Structure 1
Amino acid sequence: MSGWYFSEPDDRLICPEQIVQLTPKAAAVLSCLRKYKGKIVSTDTFLEEVWPGLHVTPDLVREYIHDLRSALKDDAKQPNYIETVRGKGFRLIGEIDTAPADLVAHPPRQQENRPTVAVLKPEVNHDKDISNIADAIASDIINHLARFHYIGVVARQSSFSSKEVTDIRAFAQDVQADYVLESNFARFAHVIRARIQLVDARTGKSLWGERLDLNSDDPLAVVDEIANTVVLALTGWHGELHRAEFKSIARKGESKLNAFEHFVLGCDLEMRLDAENLRRSLSHLEQSVRLDPTFARAWLVYALELRWAYAVIPGRDRSYLEQAEKAFETAFNLAPTDPVNLALMSMNTARSGNLNGALAMLNRAEATMAGDSDAMVCVATAKSVLTDDVERACAIFDKVLRANTAPPSWFYFAEAGISFMAGQYERSVSSSRSGPQEISALVFRCLSHAMLGQSKQATLAHNDLMSAFPMTDFVRFADNFPIASQPRRREYDAAVKRLGEFLADTGVNLPD
């Protein structure tokens, strides 16, 4: 065997040296290229054949072409397989034959049961200017949602408005949508009032709603604010769509669950970071990646929960950390352009001593994080410890909080760290008490009390930390986090020194 072969039943590229597992959409893009081998395939053709009936941005095609080139080790400037024809599309110029039957190892992959949303045309009362703004908002919401590979967006919604759809359930069944987003807009002097709600198409019940009043003097700002608010509220591991799916799936028997449904149940809505709930979550996530080994977000959450399991489940089993590292590498290889993966990989890269490489990844994550609350929190966390721009880190995090009136509890221990790095010690203490008693929340609580000069509270917080995590070493914690910015590290070390002075008065010494 020589060269590359494509195994379509199980989405794999195979050559003598390695086997590359493609994501389903990357495999579909490759199938499209092979179908028209030697001919230019336009972006419109990809959209029609790979995403039929869905609204996605043309940029997504380029992302998957990039992923295929990475898998094939192909150089875009001197291609052997995929050629870019500027302004026209892409062309397959190399041989990628169908894999012989003896190389196809798996049956066809089980399809994900991802939630699908139909965004109705906004309802507007005879105001052309507001109508244009409303249409732009709906378009932006569709484009943002289409970036989330685990959410489907129906493209046929543009011909229907909320006023015209009298039976939500019948309409949703017709367009094969699980949820419908409807909205109406009105102007009052210089104020635009927007009302938006998410409806469960199966029951017709409203799941989430928002009313926004914005100054109409800057239409572009109105479009950005409303579209971002809606998308940030709906998406993410604990967004409104995920919450709705969690409640629906929880009623099913485990033997009937597919990969996506196991993933949803693996993301504990309450983020109860105790041994029993972590084991339950890990079991669901293991099933998810077993059923669909190309599900990047499932691998990512699996990696994060394995890290938490190491700290929480008795025994300090280092195999959790080894599995976490492998799971995270798998997630990044499957989705190297995902801003969450990029932000977390930037911290991994800094941990290995390559700060310049880490900052390059962080910049890419920040450039593509808009509308993704999980990505924004991860970017804010990385920015607070890898750079000197803590004001920007706080601004990113605060924007997420404004759009999430009931944020998931893991946001709070992220907030504790970001606030500490920004010198907002009282906020760090408050947020550390609002979420799970995760190790970083406890570390930043006792250090914040120390920086506030509150010796008694700092000592009590240290007792709580050592009771929950008796092997905590402040130097090792900072190295592993990692706190790589020199100004941030100096402030952290100063806090540890002050805590040590308070503890010394009680006869307790910190490790050297």
Structure 2
Amino acid sequence: MQRADVIGGTSCYAWSLAGGREATKLKQLFNIGQWQVDPLGNTLTRGSEHLRLEPKAIWVLGTLAQKPGEIVTRQALYEEVWRGRPVTDEVLSRCVSLLRGALGDDPKHPEYIQTIPGVGYRLVAPVTVPDKAVSTVAPAVPSAPEKAAGGAASVSRRLLTPIGRLRRVFRLTALTAAAGFWIVQGVAVLGADSAPGWLLRALSLLMIGVCTAVVGVAWLQVVRSRGQGRFSIPLLRGGRADYGLMALMLMTLVFALQRPFFQSESKVSQLDASAPTVPSANVIAVLPFENVSATPGTDYFSDGLTDELITSLSRVEGIKVIARTTSSALKDSAEDARTVGRKLGVSKLVSGTVRVDGRKLRISVELVDAGDGVELWTDSYNATLEEIFTVQNQIASSIVAAVTPMLQSQAAETIAANGPPAPDKNAYVLFLRGRHMVKRREEAPIRHAIALLEEAITLDPTFAAAYVELAHAWALMPFYSSEPQENMFELARSVIANGRARGAPIGETADGVSAFIAFRRWEWLRAEENFRKAMAFDPNDPELYQWYSQFQASLGKTERSLEFALRAKELDALSPVVNDRLAVAYLWADQDDLAQRQFEEAALLGLGPAVNPRAYLVLLLRQGRYREALGLMQAVQARLGGSIDWVETFIAAQEGTGKRETAVQALAEAARTGGIKPRMLFGGWLYLGEHDRAMVVANALVSDPASFDVEFLFSREAKMFRQHPKFGDLVTAIGLDKYWDAYGWPEACQRHATDIRCGG
């Protein structure tokens, strides 16, 4: 059977609005290995397989194909594909991961795309251009309705010919009226402090008189020329003039509605634009420090210093620090402090440079008021690598003193108490390199990070931060590789236990990772306890709020889930993962329009539906976008190695164009032959109303928490399933009732004596 997979869903449409014109430069078909690439069609073809990818993924592939066998740096890809749009490393990594998944490429033994650590990527497969290569995108042919519409438009033009002859009169009227309005507004603004109100009103009346006179003269010329409008004003000819005047009139109308044309004298002096909302005085963004070292490959140090400052400042009560993902998106931005501050919603900006020369350091830091761009504090530090912790604490304390002097003494104690111990300095460098790799969110960098962090621990067995970051890396590994979740979680827990046994002062710093592991293992009470301690210790960590939002949704508390997703977004507005989480929270809260908007925003930031397809599939089915749902389901099945034979009949049943019984038979056959994963099978039975079969699959999934999307149990799609006689037993098997007894029951479920009843 021919495959027609779609990878990326609607995120490609949202992205192409910004980058479609540039993307059309890649027009010619070309071959990479066994695959044929159609840049305009955004497709990969191999035999009967047809995969449709997101446009930016195709663009990345096309950029690599222009230099086969050569290394293309990450920076070159950012400039070519994103055209200056602020993006993080994670966005490009996801694009490459998407390409590898489509091409069937193994990053360990690449046949197509090779990762050059710390530099970029290289296309290792041969690139050829077939004879007479033409894009498979068909030219647009007007449909019958369009032709009919064109004919109707022609008739309309003939009927409106007399009015068309007066076009220049209307243009002149619009131009005169708009010019008069803006002259009055300009005088009002320039003379806001001295011009009396009566003068402005008189000027307004004069402009109205001039406009009337000009229109009268123009009309008279039309009458004299028997309606042909034979007066000539060159600047008012042609369609471009019409569009320009329409834009001018629209601006005038919007401004006039905001500020009534005739204002009282007391209001005329206030014609300046309303000031933007001023953020809290203690909201800070630490921009990535610029690495000005002559030694290549030392970015990890400048990034590490940025992270350490964010960590130190975020633990000071009374100061809110924007997450690094968001501030990093504006790295290398040429915009001034006021523009950057407005984008990030902060009142203060910290920036600086780092020069590493052997074991010598030179660090320059400045603190700027984002409201007016005034420098509040600046300093430079010459130190050795052995003195880095002392310098970090000095910088953090100086920033706090400049931002809020009242907190200075308290902050100094907090920073000193939370500052890292002075481990082996070589271990610290390894730690910075490892943390830098973890942030890449790809399997190969995470594995490299694990090796670096293990080496750091070997050099300094009491280095607490290295243990916590190593546990973090192991906990993330199953989500970026095929490693079993339980095995990776056990490794993460053993790392923390080993660090404490060796006397490393880990304390509360590992509570976040411990909470995440407990949550994914359905250890609900332990997870709640750890989450609360972690958020109290580090209230500015958006990853904690993102995890806690997912945790609360799994407990049926959709409103609380949305609340914490919004907190994560407030701290890290440009994180693709945070935006995707907020979209899912809106989805479970039945705010579908907001969910759609957030999914699109996450896609623009690099996390498209192909990465997290199940929640987006729910939204597509809710909105009746069945063709898109069909493509996404086929892509998911293909990626999981399953059958797609049942998908069309399933979608037809949802759309109402096919029989439910036929879809049930097709799904049952796929289940019998192993052509569908249990998590997909559960959703299929639930949508088809086969609740008894769905309950059988759900009970089987209880033994595999990694494959069970517990959040979906509390969606509106599962309302009838929650009324199943055995749903209470399922809740007990998952362990949710013990959490609800301790922390309160959700609206969807209640305990009645020994029974658990769930409804809407």
TM more than 0.5: no
TM-score, length of structure 1 as denominator length: 0.42
TM-score, length of structure 2 as denominator length: 0.30
Larger radius of gyration: 2
